Every structure is written in structure tokens, then in C-alpha cells.
Chain A
Amino acid sequence: QKEVEQDPGPLSVPEGAIVSLNCTYSNSAFQYFMWYRQYSRKGPELLMYTYSSGNKEDGRFTAQVDKSSKYISLFIRDSQPSDSATYLCAMRGTGTASKLTFGTGTRLQVTL
């Protein structure tokens, strides 16, 4: 079993839809959770990072963490064609040099 599970998609939604992206994990040592957006042939761009269980909102993006269920989500409201990208969840334990463990990424396509 992988430490982090993420549906690779692709996920296709119409413009304006609410998108829900999810990851589950098995390692309870993970304490920090991130979502990255990666456009084709580019490096990942940090979108959100959270520590506590609960919700964190930033513009059209909401990150949700449920540590008891080992489940994290990223919601995108009013999705735009420019949101079309691969979304990677990542997580790590404590310690500044603790390495990130990534999900496989979900490819999102927002259509006009």
C-alpha cells in the first residue's frame, strides 16, 4: 500500500464548477499537508499548506484536513480553464528537513 493515495484522473469539469480533489494517507506521522499545482513541463507551485485539521481558505481554494480519517481535500470554486493542470498533494512529518511524500497527482481539465 502506498503511503499516499491520489486518484490520477483525468477529471474533466465545465467552467464554473466546483472541483473536489482528494488524497488519503496511511502514515500518522504526517503533520503538514500541501497542495501543489503543476502545469505541463513546469515545476510544482505551492497552492496551500496546512497543519491543523479543519479548513483553510485562500481565494477560490479551500484546503481541508481530517487527521482522524487521514483524508485531505482541495476544493476549487468557480473553476476556470486556467486551473487546468495536475494537482499534487504532498505531506511530511515534523522537522525542517523532513522529506515530502507526494501523491501521484490528479490531472484536471476545465472545459469552456
Chain B
Amino acid sequence: GAVVSQHPSWVICKSGTSVKIECRSLDFQATTMFWYRQFPKQSLMLMATSNEGSKATYEQGVEKDKFLINHASLTLSTLTVTSAHPEDSSFYICSAGQAYEQYFGPGTRLTVT
């Protein structure tokens, strides 16, 4: 149980375009999902907390107009990187909370050229 999937697993896009990443909880309902980014050999940095049916809460320094988060249902949250630039290239990981445990998706590697 407690499986979280992400799609796509890897995406390359051109600078200036937008990319949408999906995060799904496959076998449980997740009222809260979290989005992280991770640079090589660094730990996970929380970007935002996504609650079903309400606006996401962004961490300090994260541009909410650039990283659009939508949590439309109890099993799906999406992160859209708008007008992506090379500095947005990173590993994006979502997690879904269940009780006091969070389960992570496999991650999405974004490369902006």
C-alpha cells in the first residue's frame, strides 16, 4: 500500500515553455501533498504544501506564479513550471501524507535547454 506515482519521470523542454508534472496517490486518499525539489547531492527542499480543494502554501523564496500547484482531487496534485528556464532544471519530487507518514513519488527529472 501507500504508493505514489509521478508522471512524467523525465522531461526535457525548451526555455520559455511550461511543463506540468502529475502526482497521484494510487491506493489511498491524500488530503495533503507536498512538492520538493532536489539539486544533485543535496537534500530535499520543500517548495509548497498542497491541500485538496484549497490554495497551496508556498515556502519562502518559492515563486507561486512560476510554480503553479493544483490539488483538484484527493488522489491528484499537479505542479506546473511556467516559462521554464535552465536554472529550473532539477529533480522534482512529490509526497503524500498518510497519518504521520509521508510517501514519496519516484521523482521527475526536468531539464530545460
Contact = CB atoms under 8 A, between A and B. Distances in A.
Contact of A45 (B42, B91, B104): B104
Contacts, number: 54
Q: Is the interface of B mostly helix, strand, loop or mixed?
A: strand
A49 B43 CA distance: 18
Contacts of A36: 104
Interface string B80-99: 00000000000101010101
Interface stretch (B13-21, B44-52, B61-69, B70-78): B44-52
Interface stretch (A11-19, A57-65, A66-74, A98-106): A98-106
Contacts of B34: 99-100
Interface in B18-40: 31-32, 34
A112 B97 CA distance: 37
Nearest to B107: A43
Contacts of A51: 100
Given A46-B103, A88-B44, A104-B43, A41 B97 contact: no
Interface size class of chain B, counting residues whose CB lies under 8 Å from the partner chain: 20 to 34
B14 to A, nearest CB: 22
Contact of B43 (A32, A46, A102): A102
Interface size classification for chain A: 20 to 34
A82 interface: no
A21 interface: no
A34 B101 contact: yes
Nearest to A95: B100
Contacts of B102: 34, 46, 100
A49 B101 contact: yes
Interface of A: 8, 32, 34, 36, 41-46, 49, 51, 88, 92, 96-97, 99-100, 102-105, 107
Given A46-B102, A49-B101, 8 more contacts: A8-B41, A41-B107, A41-B109, A46-B104, A96-B99, A104-B42, A105-B43, A107-B41
20 contacts: A32-B100, A36-B104, A41-B91, A41-B107, A41-B109, A42-B107, A43-B6, A43-B104, A43-B106, A46-B102, A49-B100, A96-B99, A96-B100, A97-B51, A99-B34, A99-B49, A100-B46, A102-B44, A104-B42, A107-B41
